[in-house]
Amino acid sequence: MGVRGLINGMCQMANPLTILVVEDESLIRMAAVAILEDAGYWVLEAQNSAEALDVLARHAEISILLTDVRMDGLALVTWVQLNNPAIRSIVVSGNASAAEASKAGASIFVKKPYLPTTIVKAVHETVLRH
């Protein structure tokens, strides 16, 4: 780990980032939440875009959105990009493309099915990019 990564890791431990996980499949959502909590993040969850908007309105501390493309996930990413550009978005999907995710405003695209390490890496990369 480089100096930047070390500083980032220390900051994260002292003031963990808050991630909102949006996924309609409850078991996948549970696993994603567990993976990210194990990695040291605060994690909030929503099962669709409408619920996500509600959580976003109530939690200004959210800094990363991780969403599937179903349940209007790409529209949610675009909405976040327009209304709260400080929040970075990660899109996960089994059939959408990285280009579609990027066009919607996502920082990173992760193809399903993903390994636990893959989404942790994606979050780290998102943090490092900004």
Distance CA 36, CA 124 (A): 11
Nearer to another protein, 40 or 94 (CB): 94
Nearer to another protein, 33 or 56 (CB): 33
Q: How far is the CB of 110 from another protein (least distance, A)?
A: 11
Contact footprint for another protein (CB under 8 A): 25, 27-28, 30-32, 34-35, 38, 70, 94-95, 111-118
Nearer to another protein, 70 or 81 (CB): 70
Q: How far is the CB of 10 from another protein (least distance, A)?
A: 18
Give the helix/strand (H/E) hosting 45: strand 42-46
Q: How far is the CB of 71 from another protein (least distance, A)?
A: 12
Per the CB < 8 A criterion, the answer to whether 107 and 129 are in contact is: yes
Angle at the Cα of 65 from the Cα atoms of 60 and 68, rounded to 5 degrees: 145
Nearer to another protein, 25 or 61 (CB): 25
Q: Dihedral through CA 13, CA 19, CA 23, CA 26, nearest 10?
A: 40
Under DSSP, the state recorded for 41 is -
Q: How far is the CB of 69 from another protein (least distance, A)?
A: 9
Per the CB < 8 A criterion, the answer to whether 44 and 55 are in contact is: yes
